[in-house]
Amino acid sequence: MEVVSTVAELRARVSGWKRAGESVGLVPTMGALHAGHMSLATASRGECARTVLTIFVNPTQFAPHEDLTRYPRPLERDLDLCQREGVDLVFTPAVEEVYPPGDSTFVEVTGITKNWEGELRPSHFRGVATVVTKLFLMALPDRAYFGQKDFQQQAVIRRMTRDLHLPLEIVTCPIVRDADGLALSSRNVYLSPGDRQAGLCLPRSLKHVEELWRNGERDPARLTRELRSVLAAEPRMSLNYGVLVDPMTLEEATTPRNELVALVAGRVGQTRVLDNTWLRMSASDHQGGN
Ligand code: AMP
């Protein structure tokens, strides 16, 4: 495994592979790697000849009051995990490599960035869309891997990739959870045992609506009420939103439909936690329908 930090080195490696006819998968991360990140690398390894994992704590997606400076950066441990996973190349650029001094160009996705995380973190998706576009253009991968854990983020990246005709495929991978059900996140290290216990109301609320969905409930208003009643039972959760949305538009759903995503997010103590579940018709529903 090689570790490089300049765009020139990254491009030299990737273009060598491409000339040899090898496909390239890209896994963008901010480091502090856990099994969720590694599942993206595993998916890439399964589908692409070469896997590039990037570690870059992107300053433009943090607001001034957020945790940019204290965000965990255990680089040695991260590199060890990448090595064991069989990652071919790790790209760890400095901020100036990604954002040349005096730069003034950003990528802005409108519409689906308006609500939820976009409303709570006004410049967040501009930072994400900008850095992901840069990483795509730096590495020119055939596929790029993102987690469903950040549902709105993968929707924004899909939309941006389509709108800008970026020549790669976006792959969204399932949420990886700890044994207690909490979705893995680099920020979980901030949670005290009590915070963590409170955070479990997110997966609990999602399981509850999954169960209702399996039993045939399709009314978004009823599902939303049920979702929120589980969340409201946890006094330590300061809820940001608990909603049922259309998976493509990210607009709140008001009429019954065959596909919905339940998005939940809030704060426990000082830490934000988010989670979601994708409610779809199962294959047997399709067979049984008309
Ligand atoms: P981050 O380092 O938090 O920016 O995350 C990098 C990538 O890993 C993003 O595509 C996330 O959606 C994905 N990811 C983070 N946590 C998980 C998880 N628990 N399961 C699956 N993917 C995840």
User: Ligand 1 pocket, 133 CB below 6 A?
Assistant: no
Fold of 2-173: Rossmann fold (3.40.50)
pLDDT of residue 282: 75
pLDDT digits (tens, 9 = 90+) for 23-67: 999 999 999 999 999 999 999 999 999 999 999 999 999 999 999
Give yes or no on whether 2-173 and 186-286 have one common fold: no
pLDDT of residue 287: 43
Residue 71 CA to ligand 1 center (angstroms) comes to 15
Sign of CA dihedral 241, 246, 252, 253: negative
pLDDT of residue 284: 57
Pocket test for ligand 1, best of 26, 33, 34, 37 (most atoms within 8 A of CB): 37
Identify which of 154, 157, 162 has the alpha carbon closest to the alpha carbon of residue 263: 154
pLDDT of residue 290: 37
Residue 60 CA to ligand 1 center (angstroms) comes to 18
Sign of CA dihedral 53, 35, 29, 129: positive
User: Ligand 1 pocket, 147 CB below 6 A?
Assistant: yes
Residue with CA nearest ligand 1 atom 11: 147
pLDDT digits (tens, 9 = 90+) for 221-249: 999 999 999 999 999 999 999 999 999 99
User: Ligand 1 pocket, 150 CB below 6 A?
Assistant: yes
Identify which of 135, 281, 272 has the alpha carbon closest to the alpha carbon of residue 190: 272
Residue 217 CA to ligand 1 center (angstroms) comes to 30
Query: And the tokens for 162?
Result: 């389509």
Residue with CA nearest ligand 1 atom 13: 147
Q: Where are the domains of the chain?
A: 2-173, 186-286
Residue 125 Rama label (left phi>0; alpha psi -120 to 50; beta): alpha
pTM of the model: 0.97
Which CATH number is 186-286's, of 2.40.70.10, 3.30.1300.10, 3.90.245.10, 3.10.580.10? 3.30.1300.10
pLDDT of residue 269: 93
Bridge partner residues of 50 (DSSP): 24
Residue with CA nearest ligand 1 atom 5: 29
For residues 256 and 186, the answer to whether their CB atoms sit within 8 Å is: no
pLDDT of residue 281: 86
Identify which of 229, 230, 231, 245 has the alpha carbon closest to the alpha carbon of residue 278: 245
Residue with CA nearest ligand 1 atom 7: 29
Tokens 């399964």 correspond to: 46
Query: And the tokens for 91?
Result: 């790209």
pLDDT of residue 285: 58
Residue with CA nearest ligand 1 atom 10: 146
Query: And the tokens for 221?
Result: 């208003």
Task: Report the relative pairing of strands 24-29 and 50-55 from DSSP bridges.
Answer: parallel
User: Ligand 1 pocket, 186 CB below 6 A?
Assistant: yes
Given a cut of 50, the residues of the chain with pLDDT beneath it are 286-290
Query: And the tokens for 279?
Result: 């409610």
